[in-house]
Amino acid sequence: MTIQQLKYIVALDAKRHYVKAAEACFVAQPTLTLQVKKLEEEIGTVIFNRDKSPLVPTPIGEILIAKAKAILREVNEFTEFAYGHKTDLTGEYTLGIIPTIAPYLLPLFLEDFVKNHPDIKLIIKEMQTEQIVESLHNGTLDISILSTPLEDASLREINLYQEPFLVYCQDPKLFNNSEKIHQKDLTPENLLLLEEGHCFRNQVLNICKENETERHRGFSFKSGSIQTIKNLVKAGLGYSLVPQLSIQNSAEKKFVKKFKDPIPTREVSIVVNKSFAKERFLEHLLMAIKKNIPKDIQKIDNYIKVRWK
């Protein structure tokens, strides 16, 4: 039994025709036919029913073909790792990142990463979580940065940091002039939210879950932009929760209130398919991000990780 024979039966299953399968494998049709027959004789099992047109796998043949596909995937991953690790730091990579992380994290590390890796081209796409997961599954994304955990066994998560949620409000009396706020102090009235589809919205609702049934009382607004929500807060139209990295200058700090310990945070991670084998690329990207993350975020100990689902 050979790897090539497994490739032949997978191709024959896909094409259901000897000539077309041979063309797909770049061999003569008699060669493919002979090797498939040899494999069947070796294992003592008929893989294809040749009495039907187009030919179809036998019931046991379907199982064997599925196992052959799994073996070939492993072989491809082995080959990619064995030969590709030397060239991990060259080529093109597509990175998906959610909109509530992209404008705050990318400026921190991207220039440094690009400068130190001139042979790498990053194609960056802002996408929502569900789109990213689907794209990782179908292979149209190489790598992603988003809020985790995803609870997807086919994906690998590499934690970057725990980012605190902050209360963003214009009126200091809103929470009795308290410098720090407990989660149970949050009220649904005048809470400004991102629109549905953003995992950050779900996390905010999870933090306010004790009052979730009342959240539609009073003024209500939903936006696709954290910056828009912050501007509405400054205009006195409500309050919201924002990620710490979105506070980008000292002038904004007067609108910010921190949570009491344990601090609610979102977990931000690099996520790739488990078959992704470019380990050196991952290591260098991870180092570039962690090197440029503010130290106060890296040192958070007493926190509660808020789930996004």
Among 66-75, 99-108, 164-173, 215-224, the range scoring the smallest mean pLDDT is 215-224
Q: What are the structural domains, with CATH classification, of the chain? A: 3-85 (1.10.10.10), 88-161+266-305 (3.40.190.10), 163-265 (3.40.190.10)
> What's the pLDDT at 238?
85
Residue-wise DSSP of 134-153: HHHHHTS-SEEEEEE----T
| Alpha carbons 299 and 257: distance in angstroms, whole number | 19
| Alpha carbons 17 and 39: distance in angstroms, whole number | 17
Residue-wise DSSP of 181-245: E-GGG--STTB-EEPTT-HHHHHHHHHTGGGGGGTTSS---EES-HHHHHHHHHTTS-EEEEEGG
> What's the pLDDT at 249?
85
pLDDT in tens, 256-278: 999 998 999 999 999 999 888 88
> What's the pLDDT at 83?
64
CA dist 77 to 4, 157, 219, 274, Å? 16, 18, 54, 10
| SS3 per residue for 73-110 | HHHHHHHHHHHHHHHCCCEEEEEEECCCCHHHHHHHHH
Evaluate if pTM is beyond 0.75: no
Q: Which residue has the tokens 């970057």?
A: 160
> What's the pLDDT at 193?
81
Residue predicted with more confidence, 178 or 3: 3
